[in-house]
């Protein structure tokens, strides 16, 4: 069985936000102090998350990614991973996106519980700039998280950097060198209009093509695959055969909506069919009622069928989502 929308796209990937809280205050997400957090009683319990996940998997979901906020703020994440792992082999992949602050402490337990992959965040290699971007003096911890991911064989180790003009675009070659020296995948993401202050401007965005050219000027790149498929990034290797890879994620200038295979569940139990959705579908109320699995499955199928054909960032009618990335889940 496979979930699909009205445009014929098969939905295989579920992004699960475990919390809307974060211990970083990145300017492109939560720059202005503490966000207006969801009430505790609205946050899904792990039991509810597992039940929803089980039904999603029965409908054809093959990959689950745990996100936030910062997911490792939530207590006992390894226990949730262990529970989700019981859905294998129908569930083929369990991944985690984290800023890395607490990852070294949990890496071993997460690996033993059944976590397959991890994606970490690293927006600067310079300590002062890292703090300026994230609001936290934690570069050492971010680097330690990369080491922990390698130590516990989370392969491939993927590291994301949001590139913003005038903030960190002059570090692209340094990031590429870092990828080569550490044999990791560095992925560069275009600045998107998902910041809580809604100060995004097109001028601040560095396009994926510009990123590629800036890196190639120092470290020539070779396109790894001629088709992106349902993935979000164009993948490159180093032309000289050095280890490491580069990924370019360009949702603004090179949108991948036509092949999108993802749906999202917020920490407070709302299904979002697009990162930029202005509409949410309340599955929390259904889960907390006496609804049967069949009724919940039918609700999920109905939500997915309504998935938008694409985002509208480049259209005059674009409306920025009212909730920032920390609420939606990356």
| Whole-number Å distance between alpha carbons of 31 and 54 | 35
For the cut 70, the answer to whether the pLDDT of residue 99 exceeds it is yes
User: Which comes out higher in pLDDT, residue 139 or 204?
Assistant: 139
For the cut 70, the answer to whether the pLDDT of residue 326 exceeds it is no
CB-based contacts of 167-174 (< 8 A; 24+ apart in sequence): 167/27, 167/129, 167/133, 167/204, 168/123, 168/124, 168/129, 168/133, 169/206, 169/211, 169/214, 171/124, 171/125, 171/126, 171/129, 172/211, 172/214, 172/215, 173/214, 173/215, 173/217, 173/218, 173/219, 174/125
Average pLDDT, the chain: 89
pLDDT band of residue 3 (cuts 50, 70, 90) is very high
Domain assignment of residue 159, given as a range:
3-328
| Whole-number Å distance between alpha carbons of 49 and 45 | 6
Out of 2-16, 186-200, 236-250, 276-290, least confident range: 186-200
User: Which comes out higher in pLDDT, residue 315 or 21?
Assistant: 21
Per residue in 196-212, pLDDT (tens digit) is 556 667 788 899 999 99
Q: What is the pLDDT of residue 260?
A: 83
Exposure string (b/e) for 276-297, b if CB count within 10 Å is 16 or more? Answer: bbeebbebbebbeeeeeeeebb
Q: Are 15 and 262 in contact (CB under 8 A)?
A: yes
pLDDT band of residue 256 (cuts 50, 70, 90) is low
What are the start-end ranges of the E strands in the chain?
3-4, 10-11, 13-17, 63-67, 93-98, 117-121, 158-163, 185-190, 221-223, 234-238, 245-249, 262-265, 270-272, 281-282
- Please compute the mean of the pLDDT values over residues 5-23 and round it to a whole number: 93
- pTM here? 0.91
CATH number of the domain enclosing 267: 3.20.20.70
User: Which comes out higher in pLDDT, residue 57 or 262?
Assistant: 57
pLDDT above 70 as % of the chain: 86
What's the structural domain count of the chain?
A: 1
pLDDT band of residue 71 (cuts 50, 70, 90) is very high
| Whole-number Å distance between alpha carbons of 125 and 35 | 27
- Please compute the mean of the pLDDT values over residues 66-78 and round it to a whole number: 95
Q: Are 77 and 71 in contact (CB under 8 A)?
A: yes
């Amino acid at each position: 069985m496979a979930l699909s929308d009205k445009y014929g796209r098969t939905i295989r990937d579920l992004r699960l936000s475990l919390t809307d809280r974060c211990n970083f205050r990145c300017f492109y997400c939560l720059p202005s102090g503490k966000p207006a957090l969801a009430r505790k009683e609205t946050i899904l319990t792990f039991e509810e998350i597992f039940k929803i996940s089980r039904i999603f998997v029965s409908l054809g979901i093959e990959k689950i990614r745990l996100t936030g906020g910062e997911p490792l703020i939530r207590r006992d994440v390894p226990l949730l991973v262990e529970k989700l792992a019981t859905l294998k082999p129908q569930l083929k992949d369990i991944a985690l996106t984290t800023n890395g602050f607490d990852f070294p402490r949990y890496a071993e337990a997460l690996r033993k519980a059944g976590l397959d992959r991890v994606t970490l965040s690293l927006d600067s290699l310079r300590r002062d700039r890292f703090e300026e971007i994230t609001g936290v003096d934690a570069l050492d911890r971010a680097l330690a998280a990369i080491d922990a991911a390698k130590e516990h064989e989370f392969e491939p180790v993927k590291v994301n950097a949001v590139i913003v003009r005038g903030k960190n675009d002059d570090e692209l070659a340094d990031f590429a060198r870092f990828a080569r020296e550490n044999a990791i995948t560095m992925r560069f993401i275009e600045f998107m209009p998902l910041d809580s202050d809604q100060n995004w401007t097109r001028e601040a965005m560095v396009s994926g093509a510009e990123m590629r050219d800036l890196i190639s000027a120092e470290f020539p790149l070779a396109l790894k695959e001629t088709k992106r498929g349902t993935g979000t990034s164009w993948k490159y290797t180093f032309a000289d055969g050095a280890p490491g890879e580069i990924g370019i994620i360009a949702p603004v200038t090179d949108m991948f909506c036509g092949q999108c295979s993802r749906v999202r569940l917020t920490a407070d139990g709302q299904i979002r069919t697009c990162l930029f959705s202005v509409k949410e579908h309340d599955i929390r109320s259904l889960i907390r009622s006496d609804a049967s699995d069949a009724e919940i499955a039918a609700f999920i199928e109905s939500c997915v069928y309504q998935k938008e054909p694409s985002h509208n960032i480049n259209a005059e009618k674009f409306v920025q989502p009212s909730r920032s990335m920390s609420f939606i889940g990356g």
